[in-house]
């Protein structure tokens, strides 16, 4: 069957080559800054030019310059397809750097400090319990493929917060999980140990990694100590890393979109080189999540139309290198579940997937990712459902064209009870679980519920009445033991 699939592109080959060449010249002449002695020494061992440029507090600043050959070699060894594991194979994700339509996935986003409470409506600091609920609901929502850890809990010790987050995540969802690996390099080995327990050993963890680490450069062109060291350590362990470049146009990159794409791409190439120098062939994902600054307030603006365009262009650059891509999908700057949230999310998500980004993180967020909401998560699941339908395009063959049927029914007839309708309606038409579709009277009869109320209802039903995908008790015990020993190292408890 032929399928007409919608696609979107902004850059022609000449434009992509120009951005690529400009990135190489930035990396060769200006370079990037890192403040890790350890990583600088590793790079020097591979004949990469590293010079001390100064000190900031007690940190030594290194300037690292990559030549063309190093970058080109890294692009060659970086894998073009990557498998990300779920707890079971049913939840595995297959990322294809060429961007085939069946390699486009959707998930949550967050690390948000604030939660909009689904029962009281209160806007308050997030807790570990909230995180567990977001993981559980993501597990239940059929359209979502991965869990980008939604909440930054405020009720656990700061020095091991990442381990609490990973533990709650592994225990409450069987889907692949993504977030910063660790905020303290000393905690990374404990995470690796936990992840190996969940997947049944280190080999299986490498084959089907249950988590992907996001490591954020600080735009422009700066890899802080912990990020640089985590990238190298994870690459050596053979575990996937997303180079999470998030420059915002006008503040940490040029206000022009082209200049922002260039900063993003240069950071990506530097990050890819770091991982490939540490371990050629280590899985690394192009993570362009560039956005814009709102010049009136200075806030980051994820919902801007330019963010959608940046998402398309950075995805095209990833495709240029045939590398899997994570993009920012549909995000919003709105403070509530309103029309602004709806159009910002749908508009930008549609652009991202039409360009073919593999991992689209977005669901559940509000307030420029500062807050998350379980009701918004359910609404976003519905937005993803619509988007997947659009992405599937139009099936075109004799059967779907239905020439004979149209002739047979003729003018003035109807298709309502026809076998052709019965055969095709379920896969042809996408049905929303939330949107109001019937008549006004129908809607009143069902309680005159707003979209938000419908979403709240569905979220609570899913949380209260569905079987959670809990981790088996023996594994939970193991995770607890690992967390305890990490706390002991930090002198807690």
Partner 1 sequence: MVTEAQEHGLQEKAKESIITLNKAAAIQIAEQASSEMSASELVDLIEGGFKAGLMVVGDRFGKGDMFLPELVAAAETMKSSLAILEIKLRESDVTQEPLGKIVIATVKGDLHDIGKTMVSSLLMANGFEVIDLGIDVATLNIIETARKNKADMICLSALLTTTIGAQKEVIDALQEMGRREDFKVMIGGAASSKNWAEEIGADAYGADAQEAAEIALDLSTK
Q: How far is Cα 320 from Cα 80, in angstroms, rounded to an integer?
A: 11
Q: Which is nearer to partner 1, 298 or 413 (CB)?
A: 298
DSSP alpha helix (H) spans, 321-450: 339-355, 374-392, 398-401, 403-409, 419-428, 440-445
Rounded to the nearest whole angstrom, what is the least distance from the CB of residue 35 to partner 1 in the complex? 8
Q: Which is nearer to partner 1, 209 or 220 (CB)?
A: 220
Rounded to the nearest whole angstrom, what is the least distance from the CB of residue 39 to partner 1 in the complex? 16
Q: Which is nearer to partner 1, 315 or 334 (CB)?
A: 334
Rounded to the nearest whole angstrom, what is the least distance from the CB of residue 370 to partner 1 in the complex? 7
Q: How far is Cα 206 from Cα 182, in angstroms, rounded to an integer?
A: 18
Rounded to the nearest whole angstrom, what is the least distance from the CB of residue 120 to partner 1 in the complex? 16
C-alpha R_g of the chain = 23
If one counts every other C-beta atom within 10 angstroms of the C-beta of residue 59, the result is 13
Rounded to the nearest whole angstrom, what is the least distance from the CB of residue 126 to partner 1 in the complex? 10
Q: Any idea how long the chain is?
A: 493
Rounded to the nearest whole angstrom, what is the least distance from the CB of residue 480 to partner 1 in the complex? 23
Rounded to the nearest whole angstrom, what is the least distance from the CB of residue 206 to partner 1 in the complex? 28
Q: Smallest Cα–Cα separation from 264: which of 216, 225, 228, 305? A: 216
Q: Which residues contribute to the site for partner 1 (CB under 8 A)?
A: 56-59, 113-114, 125, 152, 154, 158, 161, 183-184, 218, 222, 224, 250-252, 255, 293, 295-299, 370
CB distance 184 to 492 below 8 Å: no
Q: How far is Cα 223 from Cα 275, in angstroms, rounded to an integer?
A: 13
Q: How far is Cα 137 from Cα 85, in angstroms, rounded to an integer?
A: 19
Ramachandran bin of 451, using left for φ above 0, alpha for ψ from -120 to 50, beta for the remaining angles: alpha
Instruction: Give Cα 128 to chain centroid, integer Å.
Output: 21
Ramachandran bin of 10, using left for φ above 0, alpha for ψ from -120 to 50, beta for the remaining angles: alpha
Q: Which is nearer to partner 1, 265 or 368 (CB)?
A: 368
Q: How far is Cα 244 from Cα 234, in angstroms, rounded to an integer?
A: 15
Q: How far is CA 289 from CA 219, 263, 325, 328, in A?
A: 11, 12, 10, 5
Q: Which is nearer to partner 1, 224 or 463 (CB)?
A: 224
SS3 54: strand
First to last CA, the chain: 62
Q: Which is nearer to partner 1, 295 or 396 (CB)?
A: 295
Rounded to the nearest whole angstrom, what is the least distance from the CB of residue 116 to partner 1 in the complex? 15
Q: How far is Cα 352 from Cα 362, in angstroms, rounded to an integer?
A: 11
Q: Which is nearer to partner 1, 99 or 250 (CB)?
A: 250
Rounded to the nearest whole angstrom, what is the least distance from the CB of residue 178 to partner 1 in the complex? 18
Q: Which is nearer to partner 1, 125 or 449 (CB)?
A: 125
Q: Which is nearer to partner 1, 18 or 124 (CB)?
A: 124
Q: How far is CA 20 from CA 7, 17, 71, 72, in A?
A: 22, 5, 11, 11
């Amino acid at each position: 069957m032929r399928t007409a699939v919608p696609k979107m592109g902004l850059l022609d080959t000449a434009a992509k080559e120009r951005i690529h060449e400009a990135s190489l010249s930035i990396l060769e002449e200006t370079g990037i800054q890192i403040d890790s002695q350890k990583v600088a020494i590793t790079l020097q061992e591979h004949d990469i030019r590293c010079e001390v440029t100064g000190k900031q507090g007690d940190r030594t600043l290194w300037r690292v310059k990559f030549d063309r050959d190093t970058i080109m070699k890294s692009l060659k060894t970086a894998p073009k397809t990557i498998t990300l594991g779920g707890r079971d194979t049913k939840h595995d994700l297959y990322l294809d750097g060429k961007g085939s339509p069946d390699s486009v996935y959707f998930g949550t986003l967050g690390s948000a400090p604030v939660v909009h409470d689904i029962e009281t409506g209160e806007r308050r600091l997030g807790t570990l319990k909230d995180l567990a609920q977001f993981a559980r609901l993501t597990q239940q929502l059929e359209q979502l493929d991965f869990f980008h850890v939604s909440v930054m809990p405020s009720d656990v010790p700061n020095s091991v917060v990442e381990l609490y987050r990973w533990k709650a995540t592994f225990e409450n969802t069987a889907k692949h999980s993504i977030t910063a690996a660790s905020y303290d390099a000393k905690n990374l080995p404990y995470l690796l140990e936990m992840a190996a327990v969940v997947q049944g050993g280190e080999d299986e963890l490498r084959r089907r990694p249950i988590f992907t680490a996001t490591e954020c450069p600080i735009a422009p062109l700066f890899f802080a100590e912990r990020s640089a060291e985590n990238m190298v350590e994870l690459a050596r362990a053979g575990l996937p890393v997303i180079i999470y470049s998030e420059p915002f146009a006008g503040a940490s990159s040029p206000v022009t979109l082209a200049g922002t794409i260039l900063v993003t791409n240069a950071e990506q190439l530097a990050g890819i080189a770091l991982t490939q120098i540490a371990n050629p062939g280590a899985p690394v994902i192009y993570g362009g999540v560039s956005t814009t600054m709102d010049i009136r307030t200075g806030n980051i603006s994820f919902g801007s139309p330019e963010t959608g365009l940046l998402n398309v262009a950075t995805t095209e650059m990833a495709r240029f290198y045939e590398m899997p891509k994570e993009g920012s999908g549909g995000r919003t700057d709105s403070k509530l579940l309103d029309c602004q949230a709806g159009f910002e999310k749908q508009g930008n998500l549609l652009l991202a997937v039409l360009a073919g980004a593999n991992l689209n993180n977005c669901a559940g967020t509000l307030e420029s990712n500062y807050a998350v909401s379980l009701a918004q998560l359910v609404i976003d699941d519905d937005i993803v459902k619509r988007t997947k339908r659009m992405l599937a395009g139009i099936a075109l063959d004799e059967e779907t064209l239905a020439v004979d049927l149209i002739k047979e029914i003729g003018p003035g007839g109807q298709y309502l009870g026809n076998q052709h309708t019965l055969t095709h309606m379920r896969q042809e038409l996408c049905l929303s679980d939330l949107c109001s579709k019937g008549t006004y009277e129908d809607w009143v009869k069902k309680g005159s519920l707003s979209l938000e109320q419908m979403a709240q209802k569905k979220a609570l039903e899913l949380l209260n009445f569905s079987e959670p995908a809990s981790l088996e008790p023996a594994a939970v015990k193991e995770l607890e033991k690992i967390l305890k020993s990490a706390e002991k190292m930090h002198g807690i408890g």
